[in-house]
Structure 1
Amino acid sequence: MRVNYLGPLCAGMHPAMEGLNIRQFPPSCFLVEVSAEAGVSGPIMEGDLLIVDEGRSVSHADLVVAELDGEQRLFRTHRIGGAYRLLPTAGPRHSVIARASDLRGVVVSQARRYAV
């Protein structure tokens, strides 16, 4: 699923982040918003805000943001030697092979934009 880059993580950036201690995250973090293709059910929904750490090393089964074909998308990782098989979190279940240079960061926190 696509994510939209919102910028570096800073206090007061978005109302959904109210009450979140921004100082607990390193300066290498940025904020993305999940696109409409995520839908409105499941652990990740349209409009969710994800804090992504571009300084964190990617491990097996991490939730990551990768840039592929000019789009930033959300995937679950499956490590294969020096490469990664990226498994989509929504939509078609076709995996993609990627290098570490394709990965923009690891999701370290999630904020729900709207209470259900």
Structure 2
Amino acid sequence: MEERRTTPLIASRIRDFFITRRRVPTYEEMLGLFGVRSKSVVHFWVEKLVREGMLIRDEKGRLSLTPRLMGIPLLGDVTAGFPSAAEEELCDIISLDDYLISRPEASFLLRVTGDSMVGEGIRPGDLVIVERGQTPANGDIVVAEVDGEWTMKFFRKEGDKVFLEAANPNYPIIEAKEELRIGGIVTAVIRKYHRNQRPRSRFRSK
């Protein structure tokens, strides 16, 4: 049975070719990759990938891959409850940059030390993505400078008072005595298992 051609499938064929050969396939090579006989079909898929931001042309018309195409294949869902039957199916290609960061120009990474946010699943050694320039709402996790020291906590505002709360009962609620400055809102947490390299910068959550 012929495999149904979809955008994620076509993108994965080009991506796999690039990883192996370190170059973009020619139109002639795409005939075999896509399983088609007509270059007009190849042209259709190339133009579709260009429109979707997976391929880009330079001023001479040469194709190159974008970070969106070089993302990771999404093969479906997996249950975290009781086991269920599952079939592997290529659903999409996901760029982790696009998925995790909505405003790259306003975002930065910090590595966490301390265990004050373990109740929220943020552990020592995790990376957090922080976004500047947004006004925090109650319940947001913020990176804040309190009386000259930086910390990461839940944000809570009651009237004119702002409180910073840990996700660990061993830590007290913090209320700024003199100065409070919000450095950004935590938008994502990254944890790498069996990691070989670690960023040098550290950040304490306590």
Deviation at 1:71, TM superposition (A): 3.2
Task: Indicate the residue corresponding to 1:38 in structure 2.
Answer: 115
2:162 counterpart (39, 60, 84) = 84
What are structure 1's unaligned runs of at least 5 residues?
Answer: 1-10, 12-18
Q: How many residues align?
A: 97
Deviation at 1:34, TM superposition (A): 0.6
Q: Return the TM-score normalized by structure 1.
A: 0.66
The correspondence of residues 1-116 of structure 1 with structure 2, limited to 5 A, is: 19-22=95-98, 24-35=102-113, 37-38=114-115, 42=119, 43-90=121-168, 92-98=170-176, 101-114=180-193
Task: Indicate the residue corresponding to 1:15 in structure 2.
Answer: none
- Amino acid of the residue matched to residue 97 of structure 2? N
Structure 1 or 2: larger strand share? 1
Contact preservation (8 Å) 1:38, 1:46: yes
Question: How far apart are the structure 2 equivalents of 1:107 and 1:65?
Answer: 7
Question: How far apart are the structure 2 equivalents of 1:82 and 1:26?
Answer: 31
Question: How far apart are the structure 2 equivalents of 1:26 and 1:82?
Answer: 31
Contact preservation (8 Å) 2:147, 2:180: no
Q: Which has the larger radius of gyration?
A: 2
Deviation at 1:77, TM superposition (A): 1.4
Q: Which has the higher contact order (CA 8 A, sep 6+)?
A: 1
Deviation at 1:111, TM superposition (A): 0.8
Contact preservation (8 Å) 1:65, 1:75: yes
Q: Return the TM-score normalized by structure 2.
A: 0.40
Bigger Cα displacement from structure 2, 58-67 vs 76-85: 76-85
Q: Which digits, 9 at most, give the CA deviation of each residue in 1:82-108, with x for residues without a partner?
A: 331111234633111238842211101
Contact preservation (8 Å) 1:84, 1:100: no
Cα RMSD (Å): 3.0
Q: Which digits, 9 at most, give the CA deviation of each residue in 1:19-69, with x for residues without a partner?
A: 52256324111111111x229x65111111111112111100111111135
